[in-house]
Structure 1
């Protein structure tokens, strides 16, 4: 793999992290679910050991949440390319949920796969730092 190919993968995976935050904040749940592989799984930062598996289940989990206004700020994104079809990533997340609640600081640990649809989350595990 060339350095240019590695940088392109890093860029695409980092973009996926930002896109996820933007779509989540816009309550575009169908689009969020499509960012996962068909068998992808996620664990929310508030429940890091409670896995939700598959696009349909992920979509249902988002649809079943009470409506709220959020703003996710993601930073410290580091992507490690395993090979041309796989990568891992780590990022820091700051979540604002309104003026009456303190912001939450957490992280995501991600596994990415290149699919026919492009790069997708194979696994997205969140956690809270404080």
Structure 2
């Protein structure tokens, strides 16, 4: 793999992280779910050991969420390319909601390349600081 190919994968995966935050803040749950591989899984930062598995189940979990106004800020994104079709990443997250103090956490991601492009195979959140 060339250095340019590696950087392209890193950029594509980093874009998924940013797009996830923006779609989440827009409450575009169809868009958020579409960022996962069909058999992808997620664990929210508030429940890092409670996996939701499969794109349909992920969509259902987001649709069941009470409406709220949020703004996610993602930074410190580091993507490690494992192969031409797999990568892992870590990012820091700051979440603002209209009704509580900000939360600080991180995401640990696994990415896979499929027919639709790069998607989350796994997205696991965790909280470092949780406001009251």
TM range (shorter): over 0.9
Q: Deviations over 1:63-85 (max 9, x none)?
A: 00100000000000000000000
Counterpart CA distance in 1 for 2:19 and 2:66 is 22
Gap regions ≥5 residues in structure 2 = none
1:17 aligns with 2:17: yes
1:126 aligns with 2:130: no
Spell out the pairing of 1:37-116 with structure 2 (5 A cutoff): 37-98=37-98, 100-116=99-115
TM-score between both structures, scaled by the size of structure 2: 0.97
Secondary structure at 1:83's aligned position in 2?
coil
Secondary structure at 1:49's aligned position in 2?
coil
Q: Deviations over 1:90-116 (max 9, x none)?
A: 000000001x41100000000000000
RMSD of Structure 2 on Structure 1 (CA)? 0.4
User: Following TM superposition, by how much is the alpha carbon of 1:7 offset from its aligned partner in structure 2, in angstroms?
Assistant: 0.2
Counterpart CA distance in 1 for 2:110 and 2:127 is 18
Counterpart CA distance in 1 for 2:123 and 2:30 is 16
User: Following TM superposition, by how much is the alpha carbon of 1:43 offset from its aligned partner in structure 2, in angstroms?
Assistant: 0.0
Secondary structure at 1:48's aligned position in 2?
coil
Secondary structure at 2:66's aligned position in 1?
coil
1:36 aligns with 2:6: no
